[in-house]
Structure formats: structure tokens, C-alpha cells
Structure 1
Amino acid sequence: MKLTANHRQPNLFLEIIKGLGANKLTSALLVVIFVSSLSVVQVTHFARQELIEQDQLLQERDELDLEWRYLLVEEEFYSQHARIEEIAIEQLQMKRSTSQDEQVIVLP
């Protein structure tokens, strides 16, 4: 008796397939909805990847900008006249020339 009761219950999956097969418009709309949902997921994934890459590039730009500023400060430090004069006097033993040290040469 149990055996006959199981055959009486409809198989839900088979009923859904039969219903979709009977109505072609519903089947087509179901396929379109499925494809469009997969497209939305794919586009969202690509957009997130592009945002991650943009953030990385912006961070790299900021690091390079900071390095550029440090280099400008360093260049300004090394080009100060007082520092250059100090190095010339101490390391190269140079001195400012006086009018007595100057010689004028006249070319014929």
C-alpha cells in the first residue's frame, strides 16, 4: 500500500520542467533573467577589480609625490650658498680673492 502512495505524489522537478516546456515564453524569459543576472555579477566583479587597481595607482602616485617633495628639499639644502662656501673653505682650502690678488692682463 505504501508503494502505491509514493507513485501518486507528483515529482516537483518534473512538473516544473513540463510547465516550462509547455510555455515557451516563460522558458525564454527564465533564460534571459539567468543570463542577465550572470552579466550583472561579472560586471560588478570587473568594476571592483578596476577600483582596486585605481586605489593602488593612487597610493603609488602619493608615494612618488612624497618622494619628489623630499628630493626638492634635499636639492634646496645642498644648493644653499652658505653650505657651498663652507665646503669650499674647509675641504678645498679656498678663499675669497682680494683686489691685491687680482691681476689684469692686457692683450695686444
Structure 2
Amino acid sequence: MESRINLAREIGRDLWRYKWLLLLAILTVVSAMTVIVVTHSTRQKTSEYNELMAEQDRLDIEWRNLLLEQNTLMEHSRVEALAREKLGMKRPEPGKEKLVMQP
């Protein structure tokens, strides 16, 4: 009569017999998952860095434009022209100028 083989016991024995091979297989899978996670994180950080660099470039351009606008608005000839046109101001004659000094 044939004896029945307990499959669960045989699998357990094989796993115990090849425990180092099983451990290496598990470590290989864990290592592969770690590589996947690190690669994904690196790609996300690279994408974020590129977006921040583009934002910095945009802000630098805006800053330069604002400096140009400020310099244009502060130009002496422009201020003088606006004072004449909008406020009706004019330069005093040299004889009518008064010097005020603080102590």
C-alpha cells in the first residue's frame, strides 16, 4: 500500500533545507523594492527641482523688469515733466530762490 506524502510537511522541509536560498531570494526582492522607491523619490525630487529653477528664472526676469520700471519712473526728467504738466509747477527764477538751512 502506498503511503501518502504530507505536502505541507515536505514544503516545510524543503524551505528549511534551502533556508539560505530563501533568505537570499527575500533579500533580493527587498533590495529591488528599495531601488524602485529610491528611483521614484529621485525622479520626484528632480522634477521638483526643475520646477523651482523655472520659477526662479521667472522671478529673476520679473525682478529685472521691476528694476527697469523703477528706474524709468524715477528719472529726473520724467519727474520734472510730470510736475510741470500735472501739477503746473515751474522752476523758480534764480533771483526768487531762497536757501533754507537747518541749525
TM-score range, shorter chain: 0.7 to 0.9
Partner of 2:69: 74
Classify 1:24/1:104 alpha carbon distance in 2 versus 1 (closer, same or farther; 3 Å).
closer
RMSD: 2.2
Residues 51-70 of structure 1 correspond to what in structure 2 (within 5 A)?
A: 51-70=46-65
Match of 2:88 in 1: 93
Runs of at least 5 residues in structure 1 that lack an aligned partner in the other structure? 1-16
Q: Identity, % of aligned pairs?
A: 37
Q: Give, in whole Å, the separation in 1 of the partners of 2:77 and 2:46.
A: 49
Q: What are the residue-to-residue correspondences of 1:1-108 with 2, within 5 Å?
A: 21=15, 22-102=17-97
TM-score w.r.t. the length of structure 2 is 0.77
- Which stretches in structure 2 are left out of the alignment for 5+ residues? 1-10
- The 1-side partners of 2:19 and 2:99 are apart by 108
Length-normalised TM-score, structure 1: 0.74
1:88–1:94: 8 Å Cα contact kept in structure 2?
A: yes
Compared with structure 1, are the counterparts of its residues 32 and 98 closer, same or farther at alpha carbon in structure 2 (3 Å cutoff)? same
The runs of at least 4 aligned residues of structure 1 exceeding 6 Å deviation read: none
- Which secondary structure does the structure 1 equivalent of 2:88 belong to? coil
